[in-house]
Structures are given as structure tokens and as C-alpha cells.
């Protein structure tokens, strides 16, 4: 794909450019709470008149302000709020049943945007390390559970929000739980979960591409959202030295010798979200990872081989099915 866009591309410009592809669509966004990229994306896309937006968050109260922002951007857009805690598979399945039992006929674009980043060690309600459980397994169950309505769309698309943080770890096949927390490293755990996001998008494209499904993963870029506000990014804080140490253990280039994170603003951080959700130009790249509004390149370390491998993707699918106790056969 020709590099028509770059790190300065604005989300609002892409919304205007892709307005015909947005108009009339039904869009479901996980992690739509204010202060995050999902909320910014929802309000921006609303201006191009999608028919319906389904917003999920841990509680209804946590996403009411986003629904109001959508209404302010475009009062004609219908919204539905659904409570879903990705750290509880019971909550995930309840939310999916609500969506499947609703009179929503189809979902054109499913944006798996929610996530957590580098918290202290904890477990989900189902006993999984929290980042792998929330960022990957919760979305794995939810997306597959609502997939019948996604496949009802004329041109269905799934967008999995990952990160260049996938560079920090492949899937730890022998120990996804870090020995029950004994050897936990918050950045390695984050990297493992983001690798899982990339591989999930690749699996969906592989398994369902013949039925018209497009699936992509993306890195939106760094943004001072609720996702990272708990991290101490000061010169004397723990976050950056521990991130640098994680990179140095693997020999990845991002933090050697110095870590320099260019933060995006509200406009540029949603640009890749918008492009990957609605552009027709990216259709030849089904299953691929996107960064800075372009297909990520392995020769520039924008996507690591362990996060773009069909064998690894299928292995993770089977492991995920075993962990959640549910099979999704296509």
C-alpha cells in the first residue's frame, strides 16, 4: 500500500475522507470509557453518520459520557451501552448474550479496543494473569461469541488494538502465568498479551477470510490515556527503566540505548483506528498489523516474526480454547 499517510495524519481528516464508508454502519467498540482512545474514536467517527454505535465498558456509568459525546457530535447516531468486564468471562458471556439477543441485525465493524497495561501482578476472576486474561482471552471469547452478527454484515471487519509493545514478549507457551506470579514482569506480560492480539487478528483472517471477514491488528501509538496514567513516567519513576530492561533482555531496538517515546495527540492517535476500520485500500492485507496508518514492516522491526506467524496463531487459538473451555470452530 502506498504511504499516503504518516504520523501527522489526523483522525478527523480520515473520517471526512472515508465518510461514505462510515455512513450507515453499525460499529461496536470495547473499552469506550472517557479518557481513552476508544472514546475519542467513537466521537470522531460519529460525525460521519454511522447508523448505530454499541459501546462497552466495565460499567454503564463508565461509558455514559462517551454516549453523550457521540450524541453531541451527531444526534442522529443511535447508541447502546453494554456493561462488560473483560476480566470476568461470566461478564463477557453475559454481554455477548445481550448483544446476540438484541434486535441488532449485524455488526459491520467490531473494534476490540479495551485493554490494560503493565499493572502489578493480579489474576482475573477466572484465574488468568490479568493482562493475558483481559487483553486477549476476554476479547477472544467476546469476539467469537458475537461473530454470527459480525458475519451477517455485508463487509464485516474486526479491528484488534494491539501495540508495538508486542516486541516485549512472544507467547510464553510453557508458562503464560509467570509461575503464578513468582517471576512476573509487567512489561513481558504486556508484550505477551499484545502478541496475542496480533495473532488473534491473523487467525480470524485465516479462518473467516473466505466468508468475507477482514481482520487487522494495529498499534495506535503512545497517548497519555487512562491506560498509562497509573505508570510513573517521571525521570525517577520505575516505568521507563523497567521497560528499557525488558527491551534489553530481548535485544529489541526500541530502548537501546535510550527510550524515546513520541506521544500522539487526540487527532493523530485515532488515525490508524479510523483507517483500519473503514479503508477499502487495505483489503489485500487481511490479517496484517498496521502502525502509523500503514502495514507494519518486519524488516524495520515494526512487527516481530512471533506476532505474524500462522503456526503461532493457530497454536494460540487452540490454547485459548482450552483455557476458556469453549471451542469456536469455523
d(CA 192, CA 167): 9
Is 242's pLDDT higher than 70? yes
85: its cell numbers: 468486564
**pLDDT score at 248:** 81
Active site residue 33: no
Alpha carbons within 13 A on the beta-carbon side of 310? 5
Q: Provide the CATH topology of domain 11-319.
A: Rossmann fold (3.40.50)
Selected catalytic residue, list 62, 145, 162, 279: 162
CB count in 10 Å sphere of residue 78: 13
Active site residue 123: no
End-to-end CA distance of the chain: 29
287: left (phi over 0), alpha (psi -120 to 50) or beta: left
Residue 113 · residue 29 · CB < 8 Å:
yes
Q: What digits encode the pLDDT tens for the residues 82-111?
A: 999 999 999 999 999 999 998 899 999 999
Selected catalytic residue, list 33, 41, 188, 190: 190
124: left (phi over 0), alpha (psi -120 to 50) or beta: beta
- Please state the domain extents for the chain: 11-319
Q: What digits encode the pLDDT tens for the residues 187-220?
A: 999 999 999 999 999 999 999 999 999 999 999 9
Percent of the chain exceeding pLDDT 90 equals 80
Active site residue 78: no
| pTM assigned to the model | 0.94
Q: What digits encode the pLDDT tens for the residues 19-77?
A: 999 999 999 999 999 989 999 999 999 999 999 999 999 999 999 999 999 999 999 99
Average pLDDT over residues 287-302: 89
Is 230's pLDDT higher than 70? no
Among residues 287, 319, 261, which one has the least CA distance to residue 7?
261
Selected catalytic residue, list 25, 149, 186, 194: 194
What distances in angstroms separate CA 287 from CA 20, 129, 154, 195, 298, one per listed residue? Answer: 24, 26, 18, 13, 14
Amino acid at each position: 500500500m502506498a504511504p499516503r499517510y504518516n504520523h501527522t495524519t489526523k483522525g478527523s481528516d480520515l473520517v471526512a475522507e472515508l465518510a461514505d464508508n462510515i455512513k450507515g454502519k453499525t460499529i461496536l467498540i470495547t473499552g469506550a470509557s472517557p479518557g481513552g482512545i476508544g472514546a475519542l474514536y467513537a466521537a470522531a467517527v460519529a460525525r460521519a453518520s454511522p447508523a448505530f454505535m454499541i459501546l462497552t465498558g466495565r460499567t454503564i456509568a463508565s461509558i455514559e459520557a462517551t454516549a453523550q459525546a457521540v450524541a453531541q457530535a451527531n444526534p442522529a447516531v443511535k447508541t447502546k451501552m453494554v456493561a462488560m468486564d473483560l476480566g470476568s468471562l461470566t461478564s463477557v458471556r453475559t454481554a455477548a448474550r445481550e448483544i446476540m439477543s438484541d434486535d441488532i441485525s449485524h455488526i459491520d465493524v467490531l473494534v476490540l479496543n479495551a485493554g490494560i497495561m503493565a499493572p502489578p501482578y493480579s489474576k482475573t476472576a477466572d484465574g488468568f494473569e490479568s493482562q493475558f486474561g483481559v487483553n486477549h482471552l476476554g476479547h477472544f471469547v467476546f469476539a467469537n461469541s458475537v461473530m454470527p452478527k459480525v458475519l451477517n454484515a455485508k463487509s464485516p471487519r474486526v479491528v484488534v488494538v494491539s501495540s508495538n509493545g508486542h516486541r516485549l514478549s512472544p507467547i510464553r507457551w510453557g508458562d503464560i502465568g509467570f509461575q503464578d506470579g513468582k517471576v512476573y514482569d509487567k512489561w513481558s506480560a504486556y508484550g505477551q498479551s499484545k502478541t496475542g492480539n496480533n495473532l488473534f487478528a491473523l487467525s480470524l483472517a485465516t479462518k473467516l477470510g473466505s466468508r468475507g471477514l477482514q481482520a487487522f491488528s494495529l498499534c495506535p501509538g503512545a497517548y497519555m490515556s487512562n491506560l498509562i496514567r497509573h505508570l510513573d513516567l517521571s525521570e525517577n519513576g520505575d516505568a521507563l527503566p523497567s521497560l528499557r530492561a525488558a527491551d534489553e533482555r530481548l535485544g529489541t531496538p526500541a530502548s537501546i540505548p535510550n527510550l524515546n517515546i513520541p506521544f500522539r495527540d487526540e487527532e493523530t492517535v485515532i488515525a490508524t483506528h479510523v483507517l483500519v476500520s473503514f479503508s477499502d485500500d487495505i483489503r489485500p492485507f487481511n490479517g496484517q498489523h498496521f502502525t502509523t496508518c500503514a502495514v507494519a514492516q518486519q524488516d524495520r522491526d515494526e512487527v516481530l516474526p512471533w506476532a505474524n506467524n500462522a503456526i503461532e496463531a493457530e497454536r494460540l487459538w487452540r490454547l485459548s480454547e482450552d483455557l476458556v473451555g469453549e471451542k469456536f470452530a469455523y
